[in-house]
Structure 1
């Protein structure tokens, strides 16, 4: 398996997958929220190989073994495949290792266009992922479930972060408020939001 992961780009190339609307619809039907859009041929082959290899070991052990020796491109492929793997509940530790990565592309392989966090993270890990996205300058809107997994604690975290940005004279994109809007009347943040709107730092539309 290690040899295949290394040879995949040389034998198959690194071109992007060419997908039709029907392909994307079938992917979403197979697992709601999953899309291989943006995947490369070699990355897709790596995921397929992992899914097809001999099942004489627990899946989490095989995944861990591959992750420990993977290069960046291999890590990205392995983590993009999370929605498709069996026994997803056994992968929490390995996913945590990916979230701690200092490589933004690896972090985004888990956090962007990937329904695994939406489906399997508890509230603490979900909120931690959103906070890390802010600190590494990663966009929030590609995170699947951003509105569905909104929670009061996350709304407060995002408002605190916004106050720090405003104090530094830095603006915020509207996507920052997707997880805040449902809790705009929370007593812990309501006054701050109303003041920000009155001062022109925030719009009503961003909270809708």
Structure 2
């Protein structure tokens, strides 16, 4: 999602409690970066938390928080994103994770992905396997995919799934599927479909999926 498109989606959203707040907040952050620490938590109160019809998968508070991070000077973006995640509640953490691909920070925020993937919050795990997950190395990415399957997070949220899934992912999925079968539990249909693609020659090979994409 491009920041300009996200801002337009938020501007068109119905029922925003304080429509003028975001423009003022963005201008303030651009001029006084330290202000983001106070404005970031306030976004839900001023912008609401409704889904954005023009930005599927985004809510108003997430969009506002992502835009605040985008308004920061480039040399402050990584540190403020890390602070927003470390000290934020679950909604604030998710907003940071979704904002990461928009920020000029390279791979600096990868530790935030590792933290999110370790949680038992399905919304954080789903946000962590979005476009910024291109910076995860292949072993960590495989574990993230397996965590999605284990927690019931739809694999449709995993960015670049078919491009990066490899023979090792197939081995891990096969093992999890067998464990669940032995315990009388089902495996999600999307995971079984991925396993089928990888084991019948329809998926990529391990040799072609050992590198991450750098910004």
Q: TM-score, normalised by structure 1?
A: 0.72
Q: Does 1:98 align with 2:98?
A: no
Q: Specify every segment of 5 or more residues in structure 2 that has no aligned partner in the other structure, as ranges.
A: 1-35, 202-215
Match of 1:6 in 2: 41
Structure 1 segment 19-30 matched on structure 2, within 5 A = 19=54
Q: Aligned-residue CA RMSD in angstroms?
A: 1.9
Using the TM superposition, give the Cα deviation of residue 182 of structure 1 relative to its aligned residue in structure 2, in angstroms.
4.2
CA offsets 1:127-173 (integer angstroms, 9 cap, x no match): 11012122323222332222211111110010011111111222223
Where do residues 1-208 of structure 1 align in structure 2 (5 Å cutoff)? 1-19=36-54, 36-57=55-76, 59-111=77-129, 114-117=130-133, 119-184=134-199
How many Å separate the matches in 2 of 1:183 and 1:68? 37
Question: 1:2 offset after TM fit, Å?
Answer: 1.9
Equivalent pair of 2:149/2:188 in contact (CA under 8 Å)? no
Q: Secondary structure at the match of 1:37?
A: coil
Q: Distance in 2 between matches of 1:161 and 1:43?
A: 33
Distance in 2 (alpha carbons) for counterparts of 1:177 and 1:148: 17
Q: Structure 1 residues 171 and 98 mapped into 2: Cα distance closer, same or farther (>3 Å)?
A: closer
The count of residues paired between Structure 1 and Structure 2 equals 166
Counterparts of 1:9 and 1:178, CA distance in 2 = 38
Greater helix fraction, Structure 1 or Structure 2: 2
Counterpart contact for 1:14–1:41, Cα < 8 Å? yes
- Contact conserved, 1:151 with 1:179, CA < 8 A, in 2? no
Cα distance in 2 for residues equivalent to 1:173 and 1:105: 18
Range that drifts further, 134-143 or 66-75: 134-143
Equivalent-residue separation in structure 2 for 1:12 and 1:134 (angstroms)? 33
Question: 1:185 offset after TM fit, Å?
Answer: 5.6
Give the whole-Å Cα distance in 2 for the aligned partners of 1:14 and 1:183.
39
SS state of the match for residue 185, structure 2?
coil
Secondary structure of 2:91's aligned partner: helix
Q: How big is each residue's C-alpha offset from its partner over 1:109-143, in whole Å with a ceiling of 9 and x where there is no partner?
A: 222xx2222x2222101111012122323222332
Q: Is the 8 A contact 2:152 2:188 kept in 1?
A: no
By how many angstroms is 1:82 displaced?
Answer: 2.0
Determine if contact 2:63/2:95 at 8 Å carries over to the other structure.
Answer: yes
- Segments of structure 1 that go 5 or more residues without pairing to the other structure are 20-35, 187-208
